[in-house]
Amino acid sequence: MATPTKTFPICGVAYVGQIEHEYMHGKKLSVCANCLALGFQKPLRRCQGCLLVDYCSKECQKAHWRKHKSFCNMVQGKGDPNAYLSSYTHDEVLRLVIDAYRLRVETDHLSRDEDHGIYYPGKPIDGLVWAKGDGEHHFLKPPNILLGLLLILCTIASDDFQRFLDLAEDSKILPKWWTFEDRMQCLSLAIDKNDPESIFRPINQTELPQRYEGDMAIRLALAILAEMCVGYDGKGPAKDDTWFQEFQEFLDLHPEERARLIRGSIEMVDSVLKEHGEEFAQKPN
C-alpha cells in the first residue's frame, strides 16, 4: 500500500510532544505503546514516523500498527485530516470531540491565560476564535445574581462548544458520515450536567489513558485535533507549514521556552526519580 503523502499542516503541540517524549525517553520513563513495558525495564525505540511512541520490540510495533497508524499519520500531516476520527466508532467520535474541546479549555486556562468556556472571565480576548459573551444581562440583579451567573456560565460554555463544533466541521477532521443530527447528539452529550465528562466539568487528564483503553497517546491526539480546529494560539488553524517551521526554529533557539512548555513533565520526572531512583538504577533480571 502506498505511503500517505503530506496533505495538511503539522501542529505545534505535536512538536512540543516530541520534545516532551524525547525527555521522558532519555530518562527511561516512557513505555512500550503495545505491552506497556517500562523503559527502565527494557530498551525502547521510538516510532520513526511520529517520534511520539516507543516499542520494546518489532513484534510489539507490528501488533500495534493498526491502532497507531492513523495517529502517526495525523502527527505528520499525512493522509486525510479525518482519518484519525474515522478509525473510531460513532459513539467514540462524539466523546473524542467533546474531550478534545475540554482538554483545550483546560490547557488554555492553565498554560496560556486564555480563559473561555467554563472559565470565561466576563471579557473576551481579542483575536481568538472562541465564543464571546453577549454584554449585559438583565438577571444579574439581587437576589438573582448567583442564579444569573450560573445561567451565564452555562450559556457561554454551550456557545463556546458550538463554536468549536463549527470550527471542527470547517477543519475536515470529522468523519464523512457526520451530519447535523450527529452534531446535535454530540451537543446533547456535552451539555448533560449529570455526565461527569460534560463540558461543565474540568477534564481529568491523568484518567485519559484508562478511559481510552490504555492509549498512552490519547492526550496528545486530542490536543492535535483541537489545534487543527482552532490553531496553536487560538487564532485559527495554520494554512500551511510556515508557522510550524517558525515555531520549531524558535523553540530550537530558546531552550528556556522548551523547558517551560514541558515543565510539568520535568517536575514529574524529578519527583519519580527522587522516590524510585535506586530502583530504576538496578539492572532488570
DSSP at 264: H
* DSSP run (H or E) holding 33: none
23 vs 253: CA distance, rounded Å: 17
The C-alpha R_g of the chain, in whole angstroms, comes to 20
Neighbouring-strand partners of residue 45 = 55
114 vs 125: CA distance, rounded Å: 7
The pLDDT assigned to 274 comes to 73
Backbone φ, ψ for residue 130 (5° rounding): -75, 160
Backbone φ, ψ for residue 68 (5° rounding): -85, -25
Q: Are 238 and 231 in contact (CB under 8 A)?
A: yes
The pLDDT assigned to 245 comes to 95
pLDDT in tens, the chain (285 residues): 567 899 999 999 999 999 999 999 999 989 999 999 999 889 999 999 999 999 999 999 999 999 999 999 999 999 999 999 999 999 999 999 999 999 999 999 998 888 999 998 878 888 899 877 554 444 444 455 444 444 555 678 899 999 999 999 999 999 999 999 999 999 999 999 899 899 999 999 989 999 999 899 999 999 999 999 999 999 999 999 999 999 999 999 999 999 999 988 888 878 877 776 665 556 554
Per-domain residue ranges of the chain: 10-79+254-285, 89-238
Q: Are 198 and 94 in contact (CB under 8 A)?
A: no
The pLDDT assigned to 16 comes to 96
Phi and psi based region of residue 122 (left: phi greater than 0; alpha: psi -120 to 50; beta: remaining): left
* DSSP run (H or E) holding 46: strand 45-46
Phi and psi based region of residue 32 (left: phi greater than 0; alpha: psi -120 to 50; beta: remaining): beta
The gap between the terminal CA atoms of the chain, to the nearest Å, is 41
Question: How is residue 157 written as a grid cell?
Answer: 460554555
Helices marked H in 45-144 — which ranges?
58-76, 83-86, 90-107
Q: Are 86 and 175 in contact (CB under 8 A)?
A: yes
11 vs 244: CA distance, rounded Å: 7
Amino acid identity of 220?
Answer: L
88 vs 94: CA distance, rounded Å: 10
